């Protein structure tokens, strides 16, 4: 699968992001979509010394600081994380290719969305030149 960079790969929650949403008389848990782009990756977590298609590469320790789609759940946020628009973390990476000393991440890697409120995966690549085949 294609290696990920900060050039804008998309991660999407495969299970809806259930958040507490304002409703009378009390908040109601409602499922929302949740998406993130690698362009919003934490600058401290990208591997600037490894460039793929002229963009810094990402590894399993990289965090995406902002996710979108669950903004309506403002009455307490996610039922697990109690946040909205929380960070996205990579769950797995390459078993054989290390980027910056950590497993490289690629298209189809699993993710945790909204600060571990739901799971997902990377569904669109940030580049289509370099593949991590492990």
30-40 pLDDT tens trace: 999 999 999 99
Please say whether the beta carbons of 7 and 39 come within 8 A: yes
The pTM assigned to this predicted structure is 0.94
Peptide bond into 27 cis (omega under 30): no
Q: What is the pLDDT of residues 68-87, one digit of tens each?
A: 999 999 999 999 999 999 99
Looking at the chain, the whole-number percentage of residues with pLDDT higher than 90 is 98
Residue 134 confidence (pLDDT) above 90: no
Distance CA 127, CA 106 (A): 10
- For 117, the token pair is 């409120």
75 Cβ contact list (under 8 Å, min separation 6): 20, 21, 22, 23, 27
Residue found under tokens 């991440």: 105
Q: What is the pLDDT of residues 87-97, one digit of tens each?
A: 999 999 999 99
Predicted confidence at residue 59, as pLDDT, reads 98
Distance CA 73, CA 53 (A): 37
Q: Which of 54, 114, 49, 39 lies closest to 84, judged by CA? A: 114
What is the secondary structure of 3-41 as a DSSP string? BPBTTT-EEEESS-EEEEE--SSS-EEEEE--EEEGGGB
């Amino acid at each position: 699968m294609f290696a990920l960079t900060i050039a804008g790969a998309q991660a999407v929650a495969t299970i809806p992001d259930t958040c507490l949403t304002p409703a009378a008389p009390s908040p109601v848990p409602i499922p929302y979509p949740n998406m993130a782009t690698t362009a919003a990756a934490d600058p401290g977590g990208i591997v600037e010394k490894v460039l793929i298609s002229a963009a810094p590469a990402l590894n399993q320790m990289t965090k995406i600081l902002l996710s979108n789609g669950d903004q309506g759940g403002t009455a307490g946020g996610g039922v697990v994380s109690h946040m909205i628009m929380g960070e996205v973390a990579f769950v797995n990476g390459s078993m054989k290719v290390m980027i910056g000393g950590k497993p490289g991440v690629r298209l189809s890697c699993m993710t945790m969305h909204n600060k571990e409120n739901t799971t997902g995966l990377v569904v669109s690549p940030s580049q289509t030149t370099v593949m991590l085949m492990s």
